[in-house]
Structure formats: C-alpha cells, structure tokens
Amino acid sequence: MVENNSEVPVVAIDGPSGAGKGAVSARVARELGWHLLDSGAVYRAVALAALAADVNPEDQAGLVGLCDRLPLSFRPGDDGIEVYLDQQPVGSRLRSEQVSAMASRVAALPAVRKALLELQRSFRQSPGLVADGRDMGTVVFPDATAKVFLHASVEERANRRYKQLKGKGENVTFSRLFQDLEARDRRDRERAVSPTIAAADAKVIDSTDLGLDQVVAQVLSVVEYRLQDT
Ligand code: DC
C-alpha cells in the first residue's frame, strides 16, 4: 500500500544553534515513538561529502550533483542516531569546525536547499516524524501538525556550548563563543533563503531558564493539543 505521507503527523522544531533542539527533538521522538529527522546533519553530510570530493563551496552545480546522489543513511547508534556516508559511520567528523563552517556556506545556497527538499520530506513516515532544523515549519513541512520555535538567550546558549567544549578539554573562551554565536545567528536570520524565523503558527518556547524535561513536557503538550485538533 502506498502511504499518503501528507496524512502522517509532523512536529517541526526550529530555532537557532544551541537552543537545545537536538536533545529536545530526540526525547520527543522517543516519547512519541516517532521517526526523527536531524536536518542539520543532512547539511553537514553534504559539507563532508563536498570536502571529501574537493567540491568548491562556490560550485553550485557540483554541490547539487552531490545532493542528488548523496549516499546518506541514519542508523541507531550508541549515542542516538549515527550518520553514515557511503555505508561508513562519519562519527565526530560531522561536528568538526571545518564541517560546521562548510555546512553553513552550503546551507545558504538556494539550489542546495531545493535539492535537499525531497530527501528531507522522505522522512515523513508512519507513525509520525519529529523534524529538527531551521525551516522545518516554514519551508520543508509547512503543513506540520505542531510547530515549535525553541530559543534561548545568546548568553545562555554560549554558556551551554562553553561547558560542553570545556568538558571535552577544548581550549575555548566564553567571549569568543558568544561573538561567534551572535554572528551566526545574524547570518541565519538575515539570509535571503529559508532564514531562521518562527512560523506564524509556531509555539515559541524560551528555554533560557528551563531544563530539558520542562521543555520536552511543553512540546508534548503542544503536540497533544494539535493532534486533538486534527
Ligand atoms: O543545526 P546544525 O548546527 O547541525 O546545522 C548545520 C548547518 O546547517 C548550520 O549552518 C545551519 C544549517 N541548517 C539550515 O540551514 N537549515 C536546516 N534546516 C538545518 C540546518
């Protein structure tokens, strides 16, 4: 039987870097028993593939070619979902500074975003999907059942990142992280295509003073309310 995917419920969780979308989305997907799409990992995988194939970030046609035959898969791993390229786990390379910088460049290209739309939409499978990103509720799944825009103050997000990186023994300063986050926020918010903005019908949640459990509970109550409504 061919499933009519537009009937499958989607929870779109958008917001800036460091607001806790990844952890919240993974927990919400687990609680609901739904699939999970980490769309940032899709852009990161394109960046990694481009670096490996020596495709220049200005070469839109080359990047679109990569997107069209991206050998990407997600499989359950020890730390949640593991990303595979060419059947090989990519591990921590996906989150390296080099890949982050390349991902933010490729994500700004309209042709790349367009080429990745169908791949992202293919994750909409029964019984439901939790989609984590920047434009899930505005562009990729505008008909999502529930939309959440998760944000937190720049100070709090820089602080979380600082603790995380210090915990890994990395040599970072708070002021540098703060400045980088502010610059990245501005670039994401002001880019012409799919900027990071809340959908008009999104529930905005400020996680600055909330713990993970509290945010997850709020998201689940939005989902429950919207599901009753459909
Ligand atoms: O969420 P993240 O840091 O893994 O995202 C990696 C990059 O991809 C980042 O520069 C933002 C961009 N991105 C995007 O433009 N649209 C999405 N839906 C998800 C991520």
Tens digits of per-residue pLDDT, 143-182? 999 999 999 999 999 999 899 888 888 888 999 999 988 9
Task: Give me the domain span that covers residue 73.
Answer: 10-225
Q: Which ligand 1 atom is nearest residue 41's CA?
A: 4
> The domain that contains 66 carries what CATH number?
3.40.50.300
Q: Which amino acid is at 215?
A: V
> Does residue 230 form part of some domain?
no
Q: Which ligand 1 atom is nearest residue 108's CA?
A: 15
Pairwise CA distance, residues 201 & 169, whole Å: 41
User: Of all residues in the chain, what percent carry a pLDDT higher than 90?
Assistant: 71
> Does residue 22 form part of some domain?
yes
Cβ 106 vs Cβ 63: under 8 Å: yes
Expressed in angstroms and rounded, the spacing between residue 217 Cα and the centre of ligand 1 is 24
Helix axis angle for 174-190 and 97-106, nearest 10°, is 20
Q: How many CA atoms lie within 13 A of 28 on its CB side?
A: 33
Of 203, 206, 209, 207, nearest to 225 by C-alpha is 203
Please state the pTM of the whole predicted model.
0.92
> Does residue 30 form part of some domain?
yes
Q: How many separate domains does the chain show?
A: 1
